[in-house]
A and B are shown apart, each in its own frame.
Chain A
Amino acid sequence: MRSGGRIENIDWYLLAAVAGLCVLGVVNLYSATRFSKPDLYVTQAAWIGLGVVVAVITAAFDYRIYERIAVPVYFLVGILLVLVLVAGTKVYGSRRWLGIGGLGIQPSELAKPALILMLAHYFHNDERLPSKGYSLWQLKWPLVMILVPVILILKEPDLGTAGVFLLIGASMVMFMGVNRKNLMVGAAALLIALPIAWFFLLHDYQRARIMSFVNPGADALGAGYHALQSMIAIGSGGLYGKGFMKGTQTQLDFLPEQHTDFIFSVFAEEWGFIFASLVILMYLVIIYRALVIAGRARERFGTLVAVGVASMVFWHVFINVGMVLGLMPVVGVTLPYFSYGGSSILMFMIGIGLLINISMRRYLF
């Protein structure tokens, strides 16, 4: 077993898409924050730089090592998730941040690759692989692996991340195959669980967000404000955009969280429909390449990790863009490589590192 991979097997399409998104992301961030936080794009570039280093490191070791350390990584992240509830910094009423020196990281973001590795590890070593799909009882351990961090993240509270967590886990489980009858039972259970969650698990503000999503115009300056301002920003951009640094919604601070969760509104307002859809297509390229890599991987772990990363990118983009387009409730889910934030950048860079790793080592056996 060799630890090195083949450079020529690196997926250049994938790297081009990621690099393109990173560049556009920094440029866009500059426009979004040039008045309010003028140095933020520099910080973001630094995070990307650090992210590239982390990605290279991630790609350097044979990914099968990760299969072996998946369990300790998972538990380590689990400890961090507990720690953040106890010692986390409170921002806007929720504890999502762990301060390390001058920097803050969000354990819930790093937990996503950890979950992907953990689930991949579990299914990789699973000899059963029933032909008609897993029954729910057979999936009891993966469900625990998914639900424990989800509950911890809901406690922070961070509805968006918890949702993404659930979706990534569900995607991977579904990819492994679930018994149809059991799936329907599961869906029924979910239908019963939803109203219970609505009344007992969700906070008032979370309910208000979901309600406002149904009708954003009704309370334009209350809960629906973000979504409405975002839709105005995007819509007013038109086909060709208002021009770089000329988005009135952006420049005049109408967009809330415009450098993090609503960064796509800034881009769509200033660059217009053509470029905005191009960005979405670039994400599709990443997903496509990830799935190609998954298909070429020579063993289950690689396939599952690539599928997990693909689903992570997909759900982030789908929920974030869906949210800024007013198709989904406002939840704190970042847009990969575009949203400002070290944790998000590192998480997706780790994801890309994993994909590169798998693609480099596909013909080693």
Chain B
Amino acid sequence: MAVPLKSSTEISDFRPRLKWIFAIAAAGFAVLIFRLFDLQALQGEHFLQLSKRNFVRKQEIPATRGVILDRKGRVLVDNRPSYDIRITPAFVDNPTALVKKLKPLLDMSKIQATDLGKKIIAARGLMRFRPITAKRDVGMKCLAEIRVRLNELDGVDVMVRPVREYIHGTFAAHLLGTLGEINSRELKRLGSDSGYKQGDMIGRRGVEKTYESLLKGKDGFELIVTDSKGRKQPDSLAKEMIPEGTPTRMEPRPGRTLKLTIDSDLQNEAEAAFGAQRAGALVAIEVQTGKVRAYLSRPSFDPNDFAQGITPEKWKEYRTNRLKPLMDRAGGGAFFPGSTYKLITAVAGLSENVVKPEDKIFCPGYYKLGRRIFRCWKATGHGYMDAVHGIQHSCDVYFYHLGEMLGPDKLSKWAFALGLGHLTGIPLPGETAGTIPTRAWYLKVHKQPWQKGDSLSMAIGQGDNKVTVLQLARAYATVANGGRLMKPYVLECALGEDGNVVYKEDPVLLKNVAIRKEVRDVVMEGLTDVVNEPGGTAYYRRIRGVDYKVAGKTGTAQVLKLGDERQHNLEEVLWWHRDHALFVGVAPVSAPDIAVAVVVEHGGHGSSAAAPIVMRVIKKWMEIEHGKKPKED
């Protein structure tokens, strides 16, 4: 076959064309090299920074929240691991098959399974590497099954996350408090260097809220080298990639351990003593120091419900309950004090010298003020009453007399002096000051001047005065300790990691109330007789077989405000109509160191419903604190 040679014209045509081709190729490559120069030389530093951010990730190591202990170091609030099952969409090849496998393992409903499948498929871009939580806090059995089959479950992993655990459930819930997920408003307020970030839990109630800064701790971090899928790389590679001298890890500082003043044994006794009573509150404080040893509000709630964010159903349940279980009644519930208030009237009357202790006032069963008749609770009358007997029998007429003699100014002055009508300063959120009426207050609220009859009502605790159980306990403690008004507190100290004390709270004397010793002794004698002498309103509730005495005062407060009765059956209506029962006790009489105040809402009489609770708590206190157990007979 003849192969044609190129003609000379052809060669002269092709030669320049070849040059052109080379020129074009050289120009094309010049563009590439220029671009290479642009990226590597001109923008090199910028891309270097980008590449560093690409592979070195700062991973937070969350600090564990501080543990909460009772006064003797027994754990009240701890952290437990929650095992969450997560799925990273990027590593799932067949979402449908995976969900089918997971459905029985995680005990998912058909709808949940379908939703999960959709979520895995819907993840795009960066989101494909962000794990989806399939189920939180799975049980041990489920966890074991998942772990065994992990190899065949592409993209599934188990994450351990600390969850707050309130060991005793509803125990002292209002004091211990709750956590809640931090919201954007709080985040904004706290600022970016506060250490809080989206998704963190923050104290919302009780000690958890008050001592948030101690409990929180400080998150640590670790610089980890990851590949493009976020998988952690071995340390040897990390060493090559991170410039020398860069801190690669900062250990988190766990939150402080809080040692509370609460005594678990005493608190347990109080919870048990309250028994089936639906609503009420109890506070036990140390007479000399103001340390809160037991703190109870009924109905209670379970703080564990809030530990991982509360479910809408639970929240609705708490919110719609008419008895308001989330409300702290101990420090935040104001009640009519009833006869427990007579202590204040007695101290006021004796201190202001309107009567002498031995002055006898005749009780015919009623008290006449002008044309009005004020009845004593005992219609047949108490006969002649001095201070001690007036308190012992809770004779209304005796205190009507004191009320009339004292008048509103002196009555309120002593109430304020003993810490009523003001916040006690207990470091818990939600405290209320209650109400101690004064002339000015009365005029403002009732739009008329104070009437003499109002002094009488106030003197026996049935006027406008409202107090909290916490205030009552402290008022009795103040009388018992001779006038030292202490600030109640709940935190003994905070401990660091190695158990050293990093923060300590000491008793705070708010003021010395000028109570003369003779006044104090007379009043205490009256309170002692209430419990220990026949005829005393709590005589039948005395602790038998012990060598110490309890002093105290009963109270029964009429309930004025009634709920919406149509919603309830008769039994319910009757319950809502019943009086609140109160009792405040101090012990031991020889050297008082504990004061316990109780209100049982709609409990009926103070002596029958409230006194037994206080007696049980005091009995326990004497047992654990003084080793005094009742003799078995």
A: residues with CB less than 8 A from B are 64, 67-68, 124, 129, 171, 175, 177, 219-222, 229, 231-239, 246, 248-249, 251-254, 268, 272-273, 276-277, 280-281, 283-284, 287-288, 291, 294-295, 297-301, 303, 307, 310-311, 314, 317-318, 321-322, 325-327, 365
Contacts and interface: CB of A to CB of B under 8 A. Distances in A.
B499 interface: no
Interface string B7-29: 00010011101100110011011
B276 interface: no
Given A249-B51, A318-B28, A129 B36 contact: no
Interface of B: 1, 3-6, 10, 13-15, 17-18, 21-22, 25-26, 28-29, 31-33, 35-37, 39-41, 43-48, 50-52, 54-55, 124-126, 128-129, 225-229, 233, 237, 240-241
Contacts of B21: 171, 175, 291, 307, 310-311
Contacts of B43: 235
Contacts of A233: 47, 51
Given A64-B3, A232-B50, A236-B51, A268 B36 contact: yes
A238 B44 contact: yes
Contacts of B10: 129, 300
Given A235-B44, A239-B40, A295-B18, 20 more contacts: A175-B21, A234-B39, A235-B50, A235-B51, A236-B50, A239-B44, A248-B51, A252-B227, A253-B227, A273-B41, A280-B33, A294-B18, A298-B5, A299-B5, A310-B25, A317-B29, A325-B32, A325-B35, A327-B32, A365-B5
Nearest to A284: B29
Contacts of B128: 221
Contacts of A222: 124-125
Nearest to A322: B32
B237 A299 contact: no
Contact of A276 (B3, B5, B40, B227): B40
Contact of A327 (B31, B225, B229): B31
Given A310-B21, A310-B25, A252 B40 contact: no
Contacts of A283: 29
Contacts of B31: 322, 327
- Which of B5, B6, B226 gathers most chain A CB within 10 Å? B6
A229 B36 contact: no
Contacts of A64: 3
B226 A268 contact: no
Nearest to B50: A232
10 contacts: A234-B39, A235-B43, A238-B44, A253-B227, A281-B33, A287-B22, A299-B5, A310-B21, A325-B35, A365-B5
Contact of A299 (B6, B18, B29, B225): B6
Contacts of B52: 236, 248
Contacts of A175: 14, 17, 21
B257 to A, nearest CB: 41
Contacts of B41: 238-239, 273
A314 B14 contact: no
Sort A-B residue pairs by CB-CB distance and give the 8 closest, nearest first.
A235-B47, A236-B51, A238-B44, A221-B125, A273-B40, A253-B227, A235-B39, A236-B48
A153 B41 CA distance: 38
Given A236-B48, A249-B54, A301-B3, A314 B40 contact: no
Contacts of A277: 33, 36-37
Given A325-B35, A325-B39, A232 B125 contact: no
Contacts of A237: 40, 44
A295 B33 contact: no
Nearest to A273: B40
A295 B44 contact: no
A234 B54 contact: no
Given A231-B47, A236-B47, A252 B6 contact: no
Nearest to B53: A232
B228 A254 contact: yes
A177 B227 CA distance: 51
A68 B240 CA distance: 58
A162 B141 CA distance: 57
A15 B124 CA distance: 47
A310 B32 CA distance: 17
Given A68-B1, A314-B28, A295 B36 contact: no
